[in-house]
Structure 1
């Protein structure tokens, strides 16, 4: 049996991470044409891992390939982002129900510190810092949940949501999220599964409402 070299897999993963980040932060804008040879040169890689990375990102809905034509960053389509957010909300609700009975005092401390970083980023208008801190907070529960299928689903669909969130980042919504995070953390510290789940639903429902009010995405 012949196995592919581990280095090729790692290069593919690294390329996917970098291209995904460029799309989410807007360095590769919606509709931008991607030429795999040029992209490989920019990343200092051969074309093969870049093409493998683009194939993965196509599965995530971040790029699309036109046969015999070109590959481009997908446009922001509100309905598609909303669909992704509904799925991600359901996965976070499931993760919270499985994680809360297992949460430790150290977990609670990590979540509180993440929410402090989130609040500070919101106050300075730092969308990237706020979203990173938000991920760090919820990652505590995803890690404690330990459900690989839940994590894989969230990892697949969250970048599409983050792309739109960065465009419409608003301090007012962020400050509201600080309070919701505090409630979630308190419920986790108390071991209250129902309260934690309800707060998680509220967090993601508020996000869905914000996304639907965003004028920058196509509504089709």
Structure 2
């Protein structure tokens, strides 16, 4: 299994979470490609950790729909399954809408400024065709109301279902279809600043709904068992 050449990239603290995030990000950005076998020993060597946090990370990634495991036989990176992504998109949109509804009554001027700054970074990243920076800025933008909502259940659900969307979002932000999100973000900010809870919540749901046409254009994926 080819893995990135850098080693020891996971800090000794928070090994489980960091191992999960490192492997998740490698799947999302395509370093670990769909259908690729994952060997926990190779991953542990790459990350500079024992096999235990790697195995725990792979279990979480299977729950998130990013890997498939046949106990005692193989673990592979999942292909993009449109049905699973549709389900994740629906849940994610609902959670972000709920976050705005709960956050907006107490959203501060500083948090609105942070949303503006994140959207400016998002727009700049799109202009430079920097998909990684665009995803990070988009995360930051939507993460502000999520944090402000102080609803840990929302964050837990998003942590589970957002990763499976990231591979599709990479396609969107690498094309012209993603450029419209800048204006949508601006509208969300304006509605939040005006205190329009209903309008802002619906605008957030509509923003996440822009993934649907991309999903409609994708063929249904099938995953065959790897040959032994």
2: CA distance, partners of 1:9 / 1:62: 24
Contact 1:118 1:130 (C-alpha < 8 Å) held by counterparts? yes
How far apart are 1:172 and its partner, in Å?
Answer: 2.2
1: CA distance, partners of 2:170 / 2:73: 30
Contact 2:173 2:179 (C-alpha < 8 Å) held by counterparts? no
**5+ long unaligned stretches in structure 2:** 1-10, 224-228
2:78 equivalent to 1:74: yes
Give the equivalent residue in structure 1 for 2:221: 218
Count of residue correspondences: 213
**What secondary structure is seen at the aligned counterpart in 1 of 2:58?**
helix
Moved segments of 4+, more than 3 Å: 167-171
**Equivalent of 2:91, from 81, 87, 90?**
87
Deviations 1:69-108 (A, max 9, x none): 1111111111111110000001111111111111111011
Give the equivalent residue in structure 2 for 1:187: 191
Give the equivalent residue in structure 1 for 2:37: 33
- Deviation larger for 86-95 or 204-213: 204-213
1: CA distance, partners of 2:66 / 2:12: 22
How far apart are 1:213 and its partner, in Å?
Answer: 2.1
How far apart are 1:127 and its partner, in Å?
Answer: 1.2
How far apart are 1:30 and its partner, in Å?
Answer: 0.8
Give the equivalent residue in structure 2 for 1:4: none
Give the equivalent residue in structure 2 for 1:155: 159
How far apart are 1:219 and its partner, in Å?
Answer: 7.5
2: CA distance, partners of 1:167 / 1:188: 28
- Counting helix residues as a fraction of each chain, which structure ranks higher? 1
**What secondary structure is seen at the aligned counterpart in 1 of 2:102?**
helix
Give the equivalent residue in structure 2 for 1:10: 14
Give the equivalent residue in structure 1 for 2:4: none
How far apart are 1:9 and its partner, in Å?
Answer: 7.8
